[in-house]
Amino acid sequence: MITYTIWIVDDEESIRDGISMALKGTYHIGGFGDAESALECIRDEPPDLILLDIGLPGMDGIEALRHIRKIHGELPVIVITAYEDVQTVISAMKLGAYDYIVKPIIMAGLRATLNNALQSVRLKKEVRALQEQYIRENMPCFVGESCSIRDVMAFISRVARSPDTPILILGETGTGKELIAHSVHYRSPNFKGPFVTVNCAAIPENLIESELFGYEKGAFSGASATGKKGLIEEAEGGTLFLDEVGDLNPDAQAKLLRFLEQGEYYRVGGTRTLKVRTRVISATNRNLEKMMETGAFRQDLYFRLSVIKVQIPSLNERKDDILPIAKQFIYEFNRKFDKSYTGLTPNAEKALIGHNWVGNIRELRNCIERGILVGEGNVVRIRDIGLEVHLKPENADTDTKKDVFFPPLTEDGIDMPGLQEKMEKFYIREALRITGGNESKAAKLLNLKPHTFRYRRGKLSS
């Protein structure tokens, strides 16, 4: 059974004590004699509900309510007034107060008001719990222990509560921008709606408008006889994710701006105004501010897309996250390939931390996938992931002799200097085993062209 926490903010000690005695055993009660003291505590340990006196000394209840709304927009507040001052009550309700009660307080009425308010709190908690459960069970994990990524995740948890505020996600390729967009969607009021992804860089320039906004029948040569819904329309009640938004052409930018500002648009070839309620999240690895200077990206669209802006740090900027992410990928690929790896050797860990991750998390994921496929045993070694590490013998761990570096097979090193013939044979044999004897797939796994792979295989077999 849930036990709710209620704060009483009232300068009259007798009021605080009276309410506390009446509600004791049913709720956890906290008391404050002024608004300032309550606001100091609310950021760290917010209650489930606040009973707030309007006529407080110092900061009055109306001003305190404004501050509470800025810190916790959904926290229910019931205001207490000494008399039925209509104007004060109206002001409080406009600021988002759940309800009001009048002194002297009738406990039966207070209990009924509390029950109604906390019923709403309970439903919101249950919805949030379902959201978090869905995220845990269905979404790829965005792992991070560094302060920078924890700050990002805490920030998106707050901004996700809005159903329609646009968000712009910035970051290098492979940093997990789409995963952040998913995290926002599933933590938002729209989480039951669709999540529609549009890769703006992958759609030909002459088709982007019809893909986004749809088209009417006969709108252009080759158009469907029945017309077609656009991706914006498909995202009704959910989230529209515009990946690589910096690649939109000027015409599409203008139409997107109209939609963001007015919530309406026209299909290509159409005259009927369509309205859609969806949240737009966009992402790019390009510098939109520089693009604005050259006129390649509209300034007004940029400011509309970036009402909330999230910068994702690169993997090189958060080295503390490399090993936790790598271990998460080991777990993921263990399940996918029915393996039982328990972790990485110390030298492999050092190699991962010391590597320059130009491709960010995507490159790290590919690296671990390769290690799980190629390796043997229950730990991932340097030779499995294909990264070089320079260790002085006296600093090397006990696994050094086994865990030496063997460069991956490459097109520009057919003679493969430094790679023993037996290891070359091992790589080729393992690649063929993993791919069921398919030479083309084995060559791809080893980063070789098929003819190079066949040449090396034949030479080693002769």
Which of 313, 342, 377 terminates a domain? The answer is 313
- What distances in angstroms separate CA 60 from CA 54, 64, 166, 174, one per listed residue? 6, 6, 34, 50
Q: Is the predicted pLDDT of residue 403 greater than 60, yes or no?
A: no
Asked whether residue 228 falls in the same domain as residue 366, the answer is no
Q: Is the predicted pLDDT of residue 385 greater than 80, yes or no?
A: yes
Cα 178 from Cα 215, distance rounded (Å): 27
Residue 292 lies in a domain: yes
Please write the tens of the pLDDT for every residue from 101-116. Answer: 988 889 999 999 999 9
Q: Is the predicted pLDDT of residue 281 greater than 90, yes or no?
A: yes
Residue 135 lies in a domain: no
The two three-digit tokens of residue 183, written as one number: 């995290």
Residue 75 lies in a domain: yes
pLDDT score, position 402: 39
| Single-letter amino acid code for the residue at 263 | G
Band (240; pLDDT cuts 50, 70, 90): very high
Least reliable range by pLDDT among 158-167, 253-262, 379-388, 417-426: 417-426
Asked whether residue 373 falls in the same domain as residue 324, the answer is yes
Asked whether residue 288 falls in the same domain as residue 184, the answer is yes
In the sheet with 239-243, reading across from the earlier edge strand, the strands are 195-199, 239-243, 279-284, 167-170, 308-311
Residue 58 lies in a domain: yes
pLDDT score, position 416: 40
pLDDT score, position 233: 92
pLDDT score, position 228: 86
pLDDT score, position 142: 61
Asked whether residue 122 falls in the same domain as residue 207, the answer is no
Across 40-64, average pLDDT: 90
Band (83; pLDDT cuts 50, 70, 90): low
CATH number reported for the structural domain that contains residue 286 in this entry: 3.40.50.300
pLDDT score, position 237: 92
Q: Is the predicted pLDDT of residue 400 greater than 70, yes or no?
A: no
Higher pLDDT, 95 or 433: 95
Cβ atoms of residues 9 and 56 within 8 Å: yes
Band (419; pLDDT cuts 50, 70, 90): very low
Band (280; pLDDT cuts 50, 70, 90): very high
pLDDT score, position 364: 93
Report the phi/psi class of residue 187: left, alpha or beta, with left for phi > 0 and alpha for psi in -120 to 50: alpha
Which of 313, 338, 356 terminates a domain? The answer is 313
Q: Is the predicted pLDDT of residue 274 greater than 80, yes or no?
A: yes
pLDDT score, position 221: 73
DSSP SS3 for 382: helix
Across 255-260, average pLDDT: 91
Please write the tens of the pLDDT for every residue from 135-193. Answer: 555 555 566 778 888 888 889 888 888 888 999 999 999 998 998 999 899 888 888 89
Least reliable range by pLDDT among 12-21, 83-92, 206-215: 83-92
**Structural domain of residue 245, as residue ranges?**
145-313
Cα 255 from Cα 234, distance rounded (Å): 17
Asked whether residue 394 falls in the same domain as residue 406, the answer is yes
Backbone phi, then psi, for 171, in 5-degree steps?
Answer: 165, 160
Asked whether residue 44 falls in the same domain as residue 89, the answer is yes
Q: Is the predicted pLDDT of residue 399 greater than 60, yes or no?
A: no
Band (36; pLDDT cuts 50, 70, 90): very high
Which of 313, 340, 373 terminates a domain? The answer is 313
Report the phi/psi class of residue 409: left, alpha or beta, with left for phi > 0 and alpha for psi in -120 to 50: beta
Residue 139 lies in a domain: no
Asked whether residue 447 falls in the same domain as residue 351, the answer is yes
Residue 138 lies in a domain: no
The two three-digit tokens of residue 219, written as one number: 């709108």
Least reliable range by pLDDT among 159-168, 196-205, 307-316, 438-447: 438-447
Asked whether residue 355 falls in the same domain as residue 442, the answer is yes
Band (406; pLDDT cuts 50, 70, 90): very low
Across 358-380, average pLDDT: 90
Residue 302 lies in a domain: yes
Across 199-214, average pLDDT: 88
Higher pLDDT, 80 or 432: 80
Calculate Rg over the CA atoms of the chain: 30
Asked whether residue 110 falls in the same domain as residue 171, the answer is no
Cα 184 from Cα 108, distance rounded (Å): 41
Asked whether residue 287 falls in the same domain as residue 336, the answer is no
Q: Is the predicted pLDDT of residue 418 greater than 90, yes or no?
A: no
Cα 105 from Cα 426, distance rounded (Å): 82
Picking from 271, 198, 183, 283, the residue whose alpha carbon sits closest to that of residue 232 is 198
What is the overall mean pLDDT for the chain? 84
pLDDT score, position 209: 87
Cα 143 from Cα 321, distance rounded (Å): 7
The two three-digit tokens of residue 295, written as one number: 């006129």
Residues 6+ apart with CB under 8 A from 375: 341, 381, 383, 384
Query: What's this model's pTM, rounded to 2 decimal places?
Result: 0.59
Cβ atoms of residues 351 and 172 within 8 Å: no
CATH number reported for the structural domain that contains residue 20 in this entry: 3.40.50.2300
CATH number reported for the structural domain that contains residue 348 in this entry: 1.10.8.60
Asked whether residue 368 falls in the same domain as residue 281, the answer is no
Asked whether residue 387 falls in the same domain as residue 457, the answer is yes
Residue 149 lies in a domain: yes
Give the count of domains, the chain: 3
Q: Is the predicted pLDDT of residue 412 greater than 70, yes or no?
A: no
DSSP SS3 for 240: strand
